Structure 1
Amino acid sequence: MPISPQLHADVERKLTQSREDLLGAVRARVYGDDPAIGPGAHTAQNEDRPQAEMISHNEEHLADHESALLHEIDAALGRLESGGYGICVECGREIAEQRLLATPTVQTCIECQERLEKKQMRATGRPPQI
């Protein structure tokens, strides 16, 4: 069963706003007055080089995270447009509306998510990283 028109509109608005906010943050970091990513972005004349490398590494990690988030948002928008939004990719059941509103990029129902997390815990001995 497709999601309601109201839920569709709410989720689309949330996803679109999240995408715009994320792109704005990325643009500011990369193209702003003081870019945080780029060669020598954190190396001043008398700065501690290991600290500068650590900051650069953290910025690159953040950029990777933001890229993955953009991909998740775009994928959710694609599912929304194609009619597949709100259907668990694991079991094919509907995902609860509250879950979709809380995390619009979610792809699994709560039961499947818990099962996936338990499986990962058994395999790695660690909880999943969010």
Structure 2
Amino acid sequence: MPPLSQSVSEQLKASLHQARMDLLETVRGRTESPDDEAPRIGPLAHQGQSDDAPQAEMLSHNEQHLADHETALLHEIDVAIGKLEAGGAGICESCGRDIPEARLLATPTVRLCIECQQELEHDRHIGRGPSM
């Protein structure tokens, strides 16, 4: 199993670190606020004195959903960086075959080869599937 080429490894490293910095900046922008304001992600951050309570609750729920998504994405980026540093990037976690470099460059956090990803989607009935 040949290791990733030096240029692909450097591209992945740069891409992953940039994605991590961008994501952290996004999270900070949503969670940090001036001293006189509550963070946008707070439970009552969207409710003022005359606001509609259901709408404020929906906005808070959406903020929490975004935070959960960002946390999962940050974890995926960190796993990919760790695999890259340990020399395990580009190896399918399911079958151990090489993941094509083009696939890694397109989606640096990918963990499965195309065949294993298709099998996973088929088994779980997820993925794009047929269109109308």
The TM-score, its normalising length taken from structure 2, stands at 0.90
How much does 1:128 deviate? 4.5
Q: Which residue matches 2:95? A: 91
Q: Deviations over 1:30-85 (max 9, x none)?
A: 00346211131000111000010010001001000000000000000000000000
Letter in 2 for 1:42: H
How much does 1:111 deviate? 0.5
SS at match of 2:42: coil
CA RMSD of superposed structures (Å): 1.3
Q: Does 1:19 align with 2:23?
A: no
Q: Which residue matches 2:30? A: 29
Q: Which residue matches 2:6? A: 5
Q: Which residue matches 1:114? A: 118
CA distance in 1, matches of 2:88, 2:127: 25
CA distance in 2, matches of 1:112, 1:100: 15
Gapped regions of structure 1 (runs ≥ 5): 122-126
- % identity of equivalent residues: 56
Q: Deviations over 1:8-35 (max 9, x none)?
A: 0000000000000000000010003462
Gapped regions of structure 2 (runs ≥ 5): none
Q: Does 1:73 align with 2:74?
A: no
CA distance in 2, matches of 1:66, 1:74: 12
The TM-score, its normalising length taken from structure 1, stands at 0.92
CA distance in 2, matches of 1:24, 1:66: 11
Q: Which runs of 4+ in 1 moved over 2 A?
A: 32-35
CA distance in 1, matches of 2:120, 2:48: 45
CA distance in 1, matches of 2:58, 2:105: 36
Q: Which residue matches 1:54? A: 58
CA distance in 2, matches of 1:88, 1:32: 41
More helix by share: 1
